[in-house]
Structure 1
Amino acid sequence: MKKSLLDKAAVTEIIGRVKNLNTESKGRWGKMTVTEMLLHCNLCNRRILEEDVRYIRPSARQRVIKFIVLYILAKIPKNNRGTPDNDTSGLIDVEYFNEQREFFMETLLRFPERKTPFRSLHPVMGYMRNEDWGIVSWMHMDHHLRQFGV
């Protein structure tokens, strides 16, 4: 069974890993700085937790991609391109590292406490159930923490 941010133990694991980051952490791939990565994750997680859009039935393509991500992929591949609206390159300076890291940890703690359905649209997979969001969000955080060697 895949890990999920809806599970407190998985959140604790991710938080333990992010505590190992510092301003000198360098990416093993990609162009983001560690602070830009934290901002990117924070923006994505905040959108998942706070966005409120009406249900839109996923297309066949979105359902196929979601199936592949949830049931076939073990992890998100290196250099996987995100959508332009999630690009944080050049948007934040290293001086905001601690602030972003604290916000990252606080935000993750909100996932297992969630009792109502997420009402957010994934930019590629569309509308998803809470269980799907928990898995995809864990995979996303794991991807970026692996990117920075933690």
Structure 2
Amino acid sequence: MALPNIFKREVADGVISRINKLTPDTHPQWGKMTVAQMVAHCNVSYEMVYEDKHPKPNFFMGLILKALVKNKVVTEVPYKRSTPTAPAFIIKDERDFEAEKARLIGYIEKTQQLGEAYFDNKASHSFGNLTITEWSNMFYKHLDHHLTQFGV
């Protein structure tokens, strides 16, 4: 079953609507992250696209990521609960919920506005060039997983 296309305005707006239902006091249905940490965690996917903040994997690690992780991230198969998290995505410190939420909404809007053409065959931080569908799946599936984790 195809996942919703995050590049479509109505899909992006639906995700943003779900994010706007979160409050600083929203608790997870599973896992250890606070809601502020979860939103910061979701921002990492976009930081890897729009900011030069995270070091790219070396050649060997890149091969491992493409061989063992890529298909878990870019396909339509949902993530399992409490799946191990890559080190760059682990948020240990407390974060400002409202600031992280505003950043995430901004990233989602920017991604939707840039659209499919911008991402068509664009190299990802860790997995090489991705198709439009792979980019959309990666963004949407990750957001949906964590929004579901927090009950929205």
Q: TM-score, length-normalised on structure 2?
A: 0.78
Give the AA of the match of 2:125: L
Cα offsets for 1:75-121 (capped at 9, x unmatched): 211101111121002x224xx11111111111100112224344332
Moved over 4 A (4+): 58-61, 67-72
Match of 1:110, SS state, is: helix
3-state SS, counterpart of residue 110 of structure 2: coil
Please give the alpha-carbon distance, in whole angstroms, between the structure 1 residues aligned to 2:63 and 2:79: 22
- Kept in 2, the 8 Å contact 1:49–1:120? The answer is no
CA shift for structure 1 position 39:
0.9
- How many aligned residue pairs are there? 140
* Pairing 1:127–2:128 present: yes
Counterpart residue number, 2:22:
21
1:39-63 deviation line (CA, Å, top 9, x unaligned): 1111221212345x7xx8x748735
Identity rate of aligned residues, in percent? 21
The alignment yields a C-alpha RMSD, in angstroms, of: 2.5
Matching residue of 1:146? 148
The answer to whether the Cα contact below 8 Å between 1:4 and 1:137 also exists between their aligned partners in 2 is no
Q: Give ranges in structure 2 of 5+ residues lacking alignment.
A: none
> What is the 5 A alignment of 1:1-150?
1-50=2-51, 59=63, 62=66, 65-67=69-71, 69-71=73-75, 73=77, 75-89=78-92, 91-93=93-95, 96-114=96-114, 115-117=117-119, 118-122=122-126, 126-131=127-132, 132-150=134-152
More helix by share: 2
SS in 2 for 1:6: coil
Cα distance in 2 for residues equivalent to 1:139 and 1:86: 15
Unaligned runs of 5+ in 1: none
Q: CA deviation at 1:142?
A: 0.4
Normalised by the length of structure 1, the TM-score is 0.79
Displacement of 1:69: 5.0
Per-residue Cα deviation, 1:4-55 (whole angstroms, up to 9, x for no partner): 322222111110100100011001111110001111111221212345x7xx
